């Protein structure tokens, strides 16, 4: 059965590394749901967080192939691991209208943050697990979502 897999790839910070990773995945027919690449506490090392769909076996095979790339240091499929804190981030622009107080109540309940208010819109940021982000979007839809942008998953080990 195909599931979502969250994969963390630790790589050397070199030109073309991300292109080689995405090229390998696309050559194997994987659609990348989300990808985030950023430096770590060591500027020579990057972490790439990927979310892809596939069976455990297929993802394991791709992980082995990714591990063969020259600049790969470490690969972790954290999909079934519980000792990771996993978060996403969303910026969402909601039509303000006459429901400002109701929207502000949702912001409080979800511990989100209002980052901008105009006559017509409220821009909110929220971080948390995927299910929290999904629920927040669902509850804001009736008020009219003008647009949103959402990051992919990022994770850090509790240990």
DSSP 67-108: HTSTTEEEEEE-TT-SSEEEEEEEEEEEE-TT-HHHHHHHHH
Rounded to the nearest angstrom, the gap between the alpha carbon of residue 61 and the centroid of all alpha carbons in its chain is 23
Total count of domains within the chain: 2
Query: Based on the domain organization, do 62 and 104 belong to the same domain?
Result: no
Q: In whole angstroms, how far apart are CA 23 and each of 39, 73, 118? A: 21, 18, 42
Query: Based on the domain organization, do 55 and 101 belong to the same domain?
Result: no
Answer yes or no: are the C-beta atoms of 63 and 7 closer than 8 Å.
yes
Q: Is the pLDDT of residue 56 over 90?
A: no
Could you tell me the pLDDT band of residue 21, with boundaries at 50, 70 and 90? very high
CATH classification of the domain holding 13: 3.30.70.260
Over range 19-47, report the average pLDDT.
91
Q: Is the pLDDT of residue 105 over 90?
A: yes
Rounded to the nearest angstrom, the gap between the alpha carbon of residue 49 and the centroid of all alpha carbons in its chain is 8
Domain boundary residue, one of 44, 61, 77: 77
Query: Based on the domain organization, do 24 and 45 belong to the same domain?
Result: yes
Provide the 8-state DSSP code for 17. Answer: H
Over range 79-93, report the average pLDDT.
91
Over range 85-92, report the average pLDDT.
95
Query: Based on the domain organization, do 25 and 91 belong to the same domain?
Result: no
Domain around 48: 3-77
Could you tell me the pLDDT band of residue 98, with boundaries at 50, 70 and 90? confident
Q: Is the pLDDT of residue 101 over 80?
A: yes
pLDDT value of residue 133: 97
Q: Is the pLDDT of residue 70 over 80?
A: no
């Amino acid at each position: 059965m195909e599931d979502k897999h969250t994969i963390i790839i630790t790589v050397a910070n070199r030109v073309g590394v991300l292109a080689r990773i995405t090229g390998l995945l696309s050559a194997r027919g994987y659609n990348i749901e989300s990808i985030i690449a950023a430096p770590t506490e060591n500027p020579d090392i990057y972490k790439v967080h990927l979310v892809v769909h596939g069976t455990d076996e297929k993802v394991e095979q791709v992980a082995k192939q990714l591990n063969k790339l020259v600049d790969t240091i470490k690969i972790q499929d954290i999909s079934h691991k519980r000792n990771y804190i996993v978060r996403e981030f969303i910026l969402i622009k909601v039509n303000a209208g006459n429901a400002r107080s109701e929207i502000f109540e949702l912001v409080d309940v979800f511990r989100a943050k209002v980052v901008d208010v105009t006559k017509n819109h409220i821009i909110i940021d929220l971080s948390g697990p995927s299910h929290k982000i999904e629920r927040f979007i669902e509850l804001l839809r009736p008020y009219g979502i003008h647009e949103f942008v959402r990051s992919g998953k990022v994770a850090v080990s509790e240990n």
